[in-house]
């Protein structure tokens, strides 16, 4: 086999792969992500709520809440699952803007009001990853 043919083949495959990547990036809708942060009264901890939603291929919406030290970046809510204290499908569309609601009741305790759409129960923890923050759950009607 000639080296020139091999090099041209690899070059053509590389150009084809780049073209496919650009096509997918331009035509596929990415999920939207909203992040809200609620800091504890003393500023040591924070609760970060992330909502991921999209319309294609079919509508979906997922809420996640993580609690960790305030000095960590908000991106930990999506990259570090160990900090997650709540995960569930979003509430019904009429309640979606208000829920889940995060309220710090003291420096080391938080109350989370939630509602889910569907039959699947939410993933909930009663303590954060550090085991210092107590979590009280309130299910909305």
Residue 126, classed as helix, strand or coil, is coil
Whether residue 49 sits in one domain with residue 20: no
Same domain, 20 and 62: no
Q: Please name the residue that has the structure tokens 């709520």.
A: 49
Q: Are 43 and 94 members of one domain?
A: yes
Q: Give the integer Cα–Cα distance in Å for 66 and 122.
A: 14
pLDDT tens by residue, 8-56: 999 999 999 999 998 887 777 778 889 999 999 999 999 999 999 887 7
Both 61 and 104 in one domain: the answer is: yes
Q: Is residue 115 part of a domain?
A: yes
Considering the domain architecture, whether residues 45 and 113 belong to the same structural domain is answered as yes
Model's pTM, two decimal places? 0.76
d(CA 67, CA 129): 8
Domain containing 84 equals: 32-131
pLDDT tens, 46-66?
A: 999 999 988 776 788 889 999
Q: How many domains does the chain have?
A: 2
């Amino acid at each position: 086999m000639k080296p020139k043919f091999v090099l041209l083949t690899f070059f053509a495959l590389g150009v084809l792969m780049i073209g496919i990547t650009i096509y997918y990036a331009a035509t596929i809708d990415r999920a939207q992500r909203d992040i809200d942060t609620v800091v504890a009264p003393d500023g040591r901890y924070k609760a970060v709520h992330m909502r991921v939603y999209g319309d294609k291929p079919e509508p979906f919406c997922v809420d996640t809440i993580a609690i960790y030290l305030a000095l960590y970046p908000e991106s930990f809510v999506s990259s570090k699952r160990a900090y997650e204290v709540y995960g569930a499908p979003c509430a019904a569309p009429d309640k979606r803007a208000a829920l889940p609601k995060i309220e710090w009741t003291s420096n080391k305790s938080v109350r989370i009001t939630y509602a889910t759409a569907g039959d699947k129960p939410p993933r909930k923890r009663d303590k954060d990853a550090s085991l210092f923050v107590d979590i009280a759950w309130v299910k909305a009607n």
